Each structure stands twice: as structure tokens, then as C-alpha cells.
Amino acid sequence: MEIRKRAYETTFVLKPDLEDEEKQNILQRVKDTILAHEGEVTDVDAWGKRQLAYEIKDYRSGDYTILAFDAKTSVVNELERIFKIMDGVLRYLVVRNDA
């Protein structure tokens, strides 16, 4: 039985003082993780720096990125594990897109 792919969306907020190269490395690592689990990135929307609703780790702003992808359910756990260990990530959220 083949496990079907589902549509997901992840939003992650990076520290605003990261260099562009560091931001690209984090984005590439997320994409590589999705591809390694036989997924497909469908859209990347970089919002840039935005004001946070509340202070997180002494930061009042963050660099937002929204990434849409299709993948098996196993990729969600791996993405969350990677987000937890990356220093530049302030917050993240992965949701299934039922629309």
C-alpha cells in the first residue's frame, strides 16, 4: 500500500540579525529535508522582517518565511526536529493544508 502525499505549509521565523547566507542555508536545509523524504516544495514566500506580536528571546522582530510543500506524514516530525536544533529559528509551525 502506497502512502499518499498530503499538502502542508510551514511558517518559520528567523532571527532578524542573521546574514542572508545563513538565512539561505536554513531555507535550503528545510527544502533538502522535504526532498529527502520524497516530498515536493510547491511555493516559497519570503515575507522578510516583520514586527513580532511579543518579544521572543529578546527579539522584537523576525524574518518570516512561508513554505508550501507536498509530502508524506513522516516529513513533519523530521522538520520539527530540525527546526528545534537550528540556532537561527525563533518559532516555527507546520500545518496540514486541507483546502
CATH number, domain with residue 33: 3.30.70.60
Residue 74 confidence class, pLDDT cut points 50, 70, 90: confident
In a domain, residue 69? The reply is yes
In a domain, residue 80? The reply is yes
Query: Is the CA virtual torsion 19, 46, 32, 37 positive or negative?
Result: positive
In a domain, residue 42? The reply is yes
The pTM (predicted TM-score) of the whole model is 0.86
- Provide the domain limits for residue 85: 6-96
In a domain, residue 38? The reply is yes
Q: Exposed/middle/buried for 34, CB within 10 Å: 0-12, 13-18, 19+?
A: buried
In a domain, residue 22? The reply is yes
> What would the grid cell of residue 51 be?
514586527
Tell me the percentage of the chain whose pLDDT exceeds 90. 80
Work out the average pLDDT over 62-69.
95
For the chain, what is the domain count?
1
In a domain, residue 63? The reply is yes
In a domain, residue 67? The reply is yes
In a domain, residue 1? The reply is no
φ/ψ (deg, to 5) at 57: 50, 45
